Amino acid sequence: MKYIVQPSARIAGEISVPGDKSISHRAIMFASLAEGSTRVSGFLQGEDCLATLHAFQQMGVTVDYGSDDMTIHGVGRDGLQAPQNALDCGNSGTSMRLLTGLLAGQGFAVTLVGDESLLQRPMRRVCDPLNSMGARIDTAAKGTPPVTIHAVDSLQAISYHLPVASAQVKSAVLLAGLFARGVTEVIEPKPTRDHTECMLQAFHYPLQRSATRISVEGGHRLHATDIQVPGDISSAAFFIVAACIAPQAELTLHNVGMNPTRTGVLAILQAMNASIDIHNHAVEGGEPTASITVRSSQLRGIDVPPELVPSAIDEFPILCVAAACAQGTTRVTQAEELRVKESDRIAQVARGLTTLGVRVEEYPDGLTIEGGPLTGGEIDSGHDHRIAMAFSIASLRAADTITVHDCKNVATSFPGFVETARSVGLDITLHEHDR
């Protein structure tokens, strides 16, 4: 599957983007463990979140589907059943890492598998702290999936210092802490997205938190609540940058999640001189939301402040496209987490931008991008949905056609991306047979 994208000059309209992926994953997990039934509206019907949903259905959770929502009938903290088969997480690292924490203390054995891309991703940084809590978790020889979780009688709480800022590792340890004896504490080197903490509070589970310390005591119950999932700012970022770099643009995105641990992308773009207006503030299910209006901008290269990196970690593929269209040089450092996403995103971005004629210097923890004109070319997404979408948006400033190969995984996070892109002015076509 590939995208063929022709240069276009105008971006305009009003859109909504699909529901937040991180919140959708967690809504399924906590609703399944809760006492009572939870109604979830705005759930992301992407392959990643559906993998999480199907996993819980295999463990005995019943789901009723409405026209634009679903009701999840929780089985309680101790009600999950051992699945008959391995749980397939597809392409979703979030599903696998969070499920590893949640299932570490369940008392039954289970194996987690995934697609070719997921089977290459590191799992020891999740498994090591969980094993120190008394879990028994095995991986393949290189620390990659499949992940096999063995039955244990109980877990013991720990205090864990994250070596690298990671919301997934933090969440896995906290989820295991729900089933551990004592108080489990996670200390972060920098604040990361806090959807797990927000949703625990929404399901009335007690926790203690400060800027970089979160603790939960095992043994409490979760209680059903209704969840409205806002639009995913990571998906919105592609169209925010599209409006910034298009020669003629005015675009409004409605009901975008504005959790402060996720808005680093807006702060970085505003520092680059982006014309961004945030309005219609609201709160949905404990998460702040807003509308965002973006206009054509004369972007400037910057040194990205390292403290903003964790809150924009998923947006760097499209931020690097913005940097390629900016005047001057942009430097990204302390972003080594990008090396272990769906692809090595530092390497994939560097290769793709070089193909389009952009000067790039790559480092172990980041890269330097010299803004300038973009040519056309053939881009390999590396099985990575965010790389595929980012280089589709780059067509707005390209001199010729951009062909992006291996785009199937876009459906994991942004079903309907092509249709949304066309609706605002991109000249993009989908071809089912790749090279």
Say if residues 227 and 38 touch (Cβ distance below 8 Å): yes
Range(s) within the chain of domains with CATH label 3.65.10.10: 2-19+230-431, 21-228
pLDDT in the model for residue 342: 83
Residues 6+ apart with CB under 8 A from 43: 19, 24, 27, 28, 49, 69, 70, 229
Band of residue 234 on the pLDDT scale cut at 50, 70, 90: very high
Whether the pLDDT of residue 412 is over 90: the answer is no
Whether the pLDDT of residue 99 is over 60: the answer is yes
Catalytic residue among 20, 48, 115, 314: 314
pLDDT in the model for residue 354: 98
Residue range 192-199: average pLDDT? 92
Residue range 172-199: average pLDDT? 95
pTM of the model: 0.88
Say what percent of the chain tops pLDDT 70.
99
pLDDT tens readout for residues 319-357: 999 999 999 999 999 999 999 888 899 999 999 999 999
Spatial CA neighbour of 256 closest among 239, 273, 274: 239
C-alpha 307: how far from chain center = 19
Say if residues 38 and 27 touch (Cβ distance below 8 Å): yes
pLDDT in the model for residue 330: 98
Q: Return the structure tokens found at 392.
A: 């589709």
Band of residue 285 on the pLDDT scale cut at 50, 70, 90: low
pLDDT in the model for residue 286: 73
DSSP label of 153 = S
In angstroms, the CA 391 to CA 386 distance is 9
At 407, phi and psi to the nearest 5? -105, 10
DSSP label of 425 = T
pLDDT tens readout for residues 154-183: 999 999 999 988 999 999 999 999 999 999
Say if residues 406 and 348 touch (Cβ distance below 8 Å): no
In angstroms, the CA 103 to CA 97 distance is 10
Residue type, 301: G
In angstroms, the CA 182 to CA 307 distance is 32
What are the strands of the beta sheet with 248-257, ordered from one edge? Answer: 10-16, 248-257, 287-295, 275-284
Residues 6+ apart with CB under 8 A from 419: none
What are the strands of the beta sheet with 110-113, ordered from one edge? Answer: 87-88, 110-113, 147-150, 136-138
Whether the pLDDT of residue 40 is over 70: the answer is yes
Residue range 378-399: average pLDDT? 96
314 tagged catalytic: yes
Whether the pLDDT of residue 246 is over 80: the answer is yes
Q: Return the structure tokens found at 149.
A: 């979780």
- Please provide the average confidence, as pLDDT, over all residues in the chain: 95
Q: What CATH number does the domain located at 21-228 have?
A: 3.65.10.10
In angstroms, the CA 58 to CA 95 distance is 14
pLDDT in the model for residue 165: 85
Band of residue 318 on the pLDDT scale cut at 50, 70, 90: very high
Question: To which CATH superfamily is domain 2-19+230-431 assigned?
Answer: Enolpyruvate transferase domain (3.65.10.10)
C-alpha 153: how far from chain center = 33
Whether the pLDDT of residue 284 is over 80: the answer is no
Say if residues 156 and 180 touch (Cβ distance below 8 Å): yes
In angstroms, the CA 360 to CA 2 distance is 25
Say if residues 404 and 35 touch (Cβ distance below 8 Å): no
Residue range 134-153: average pLDDT? 96
In angstroms, the CA 12 to CA 15 distance is 9
In angstroms, the CA 235 to CA 242 distance is 12
User: 43-55 burial, b for 16+ CB within 10 Å, e for fewer?
Assistant: bbebbbbbbbbbb
Whether the pLDDT of residue 252 is over 90: the answer is yes
Query: DSSP letters along 244-297, please?
Result: HHSSEEEEEEEEEE--TTTTHHHHHHHHTT-EEEEEEEEEETTEEEEEEEEE--
In angstroms, the CA 322 to CA 329 distance is 11
